[in-house]
Structure 1
Amino acid sequence: MKNILVPCEFSKASEQALRFAIEIAALSQGEVTVLHVINLTPGYIETLETNPYYVNSMSILAELKRQAFADFEELKQKLNAGNVVVKFVIEQGLLNHAILKSIHKQDADLVVMATSGASGLNEILVGSNTEKIVRSSPVPVFAVHKNQKVEQIRNIIFPTTIELNKSALIEKVKALQTFFNAKLHLLHVKTPELKRKDQELKMALENFARFYSLKNYTTVVKQAKTEEEGIIKFARQLEYSIIAMSTHGHTGLTHLMLGSIAEDVVNHCPEAVWTYTAHEI
């Protein structure tokens, strides 16, 4: 977590995400890149003109950039980053495309994003911007919902199945656990259609932990109507926690049909959620 990218539109939520990123960078001796995205595309759509910004587009863009730099300096003074290097970049275009471009351009190894979530029909058809990045990012993403202190994190909730096919993910989670010096909680949510006994599932989780040589962990089986409900309920019972999950990165029609538990949790859980796109089967 040396090169951290933080998309920012200068809202209160963005400020909280940036503060979270700076605290991580202070511990990792890393640096933070604040990304502000300027998107003039809605002007074309709203006016239905061929080129509505033809005459003044450069002056409009220049003014938006000037204001963004002023807002960044004000935010930087408020946050007091200490010895952490915090740089500011501006990209123009669609938000999600600009973030993915910046991950590669800035050689980022972590994205920290604020999210207010999404709900109802909007969640099904659009989803939060953070959810879209969670689905497509080549590096881990922290979704931050509130002003959560990095130094207070003591627990990592790791919802998991019991299949032994998660080597790359487990290595990432181990590194996360070491960084935060936290206890790992292996959580298996038992939904109504799952008929295996709790004790059998607990034994399977213990075998899972031994197989991957995990340390400083607990195993937890919780019953709930859905995986999302079980994860969020357990997180609310455990103070000073974050959630670590994998996502399969479905997009398009596949995403509408299958979705992702990780993305649902990102949208609805008040705790910070760390996600990593799993490529293993």
Structure 2
Amino acid sequence: MTAAPHDTPLLQVRDLVRTYTLPREKLFSAPPTVQALKGVSFELHAGQSLGIVGESGSGKSTLARLVMALDQPTAGQVLLEGQDLHRMEAAALQRARKDFQMVFQDPYGSLDPRQTVERIVSEPLQAQKTASRAEQRERASQVLQQVGLRAQDVDKYPHEFSGGQRQRIAIARALITKPRLIIADEPVSALDVSVQAQVLNLMQDLQREHGITYLLISHDLAVINHLCDAVVVLYQGEIVERGAPSQLFQHAQHPYTQKLVQAVPQVRPRRHRMPAGIGASPV
């Protein structure tokens, strides 16, 4: 992609609307519609982390699909480095995908059990068609080590790993094209609490080392508080509040935000590493 001016946000979401048409209830009636997103706008600068928080049905996963250009908006724009992803030709969008990758929620369902870790992790490189098979294998080994696994794990299959290790593999897959932006959709919600801490600490370390920008989507304000510089609260497809995590925790204004805050038993100071157990190995 052509580099945007230095002061341009890496990601801009402008007035994003997504309306779905439902099956007709009666033969000659107009089909009903539901608005999953209602004019959502925000910006994210390079090297920062923005949390999108909301309960099931808030529209946050729809937002993730639109930012990833896996779905078309009804209205609005998603700009990456100033370029509208939804107006790109297919070939240009494919080339642009090296700059933004996704980590999915389910570490079990998001990895093909029939593929070796090498093939899974190198999949984005395969799509780019810019590296030989030997280069793909070498790069896969490198990113596995970056996420705390071993280079020789490239020849294993997903069933040979724990849930936390599988999510590390998913993160490695996202890293392999050296993206500027990673969209993480509930990246730790399927993991045990102690394993969540390890994965979040890993994401924080990777951001510090490589300058990665995160769009983190979660229903859990404690997770958002740990990793993010700013928070957007999404409720029924609309942004109802936004600000720094500490501000929202201490001075939440909207009743929905207050409800989310009350659901968090204890809030740790933001951006501190979460305890993952003394001498804990990657799990």
TM-score by length of 1: 0.27
Higher RCO (Cα < 8 Å, 6 or more apart): 2
Bigger Cα Rg = 1
Q: How does the TM-score come out when normalised to structure 2?
A: 0.27
